[in-house]
Amino acid sequence: MSSHNVSASLTLHSDSQAATQRIGAAIGRVVNAGQVIALRGELGAGKTTLVQGIAAGMGVEARVTSPTFILVNEYTATEGRRLVHIDAYRLAEDATLADAATFGLADLLVEAGMDGVNVVAIEWAERVATLLPDDILTIAITPCADDPDARTLQLTATGAHSAAIIAQLAP
């Protein structure tokens, strides 16, 4: 994949898990099929909490849980879309194509292509960075040192589709 050029960014603040889910829901309401969302953050930062919100915003009614041990969960959303939730935590740092092939990451990303129906959210996305498409929305979640419930969410878009999401979220 070619180098990623930042085309838009936005910093959001959350003061609770519920607020993180609300931010996710706002993203889920404006995300289009074909979108890849790369989630970064330490253990317990709130990546799954954000995906739960994205799912709710997309109209997913099922309970969303982290796929840490099974690597991939798929959920049916409204308008014929699917949310594919991937957790790359158990993959080696800088996962290879062979590692990702064990659960079909390349196929899932191709299916998510702009003609596809999937929205793909990948926790620990830095472990599969070389496999990601050029147009991605990266969300880095950082706990705030002075408040254990607060988070800073840094959204960075590389590409027009991802930038459109940020444009719709910007105040």
How many other C-beta atoms are found inside a 10 Å radius of the C-beta of residue 102? 10
In a domain, 63, yes or no: yes
Q: What is the reported pTM?
A: 0.84
| Domain containing residue 161 | 10-169
Query: For residue 37, which of 125, 166, 127 has the smallest C-alpha distance?
Result: 125
In a domain, 125, yes or no: yes
Q: What is the mean pLDDT of the chain?
A: 83
In a domain, 61, yes or no: yes
In a domain, 1, yes or no: no
* pLDDT tens-place string over residues 15-24: 999 999 999 9
| CATH number (domain holding residue 78) | 3.40.50.300
How are beta strands 36-40 and 72-76 bridged, if at all?
unpaired
* pLDDT tens-place string over residues 46-83: 999 999 999 999 999 888 877 555 567 788 888 778 89
* pLDDT tens-place string over residues 3-54: 457 789 999 999 999 999 999 999 999 998 889 999 999 988 999 999 999 9
Number of structural domains, the chain? 1
